Amino acid sequence: MKRIVFWMVALLLMSGVAMAQGNRQGGRQQMDPKTRAQRMTERMVKEYSLNEDQKQQLLDVNLAWVEKMAANQGRHSKDDKAARMTKEEREKKAAEMKKSREDYDAQLKKILTKEQYDSYVKKQAEREKQMKEGRQNRQKRQG
């Protein structure tokens, strides 16, 4: 009897751990653009102390940005089209995304005060540095 209870508890714990892992990849990609834009806006309102007028303007800009990025989404499986893109196509797509980012930043500059925008630029640089370090760490583990 004790063995049965032991195995049932062990099985229950293992299934709980497996379920807790869930689908970690793609969690953000599954979010619809409107929800993602709202979350981005709320985070930025808190980080940069924006007023209601700025918040509404930012929500509109973020929604347009997220929809554009969703249309250009570059994360695909190995068998997908992105894996077969030529170097020129990848460079063209990267240039388009860079231009979109510059346009987005220009719109933010119009909405935010100088201090808020400076804080935003500093925070973005920190995030980019963290992402770069994360990519390098993943490459070291894979290589």
Q: What is the pLDDT of residues 107-131, one digit of tens each?
A: 999 999 999 999 999 999 999 999 9
Q: Is residue 106 within 8 Å of residue 39, measured between CB atoms?
A: no
**At 106, is the secondary structure helix, strand, or coil?**
helix
* pLDDT tens digits along 29-87: 568 899 999 999 999 999 999 999 999 999 999 999 999 888 877 554 444 555 677 88
pTM beyond 0.75: no
Question: For residue 6, what pLDDT is reported?
Answer: 74
In angstroms, the CA 68 to CA 83 distance is 21
Phi-psi region of 60 (alpha: psi -120 to 50; beta: other; left: phi over 0): alpha
Contact 82/74 with Cβ under 8 angstroms? yes
pLDDT at 28: 46
CA within 13 Å, CB half, 88: 0
| Domain spans, the chain | 30-71+85-113
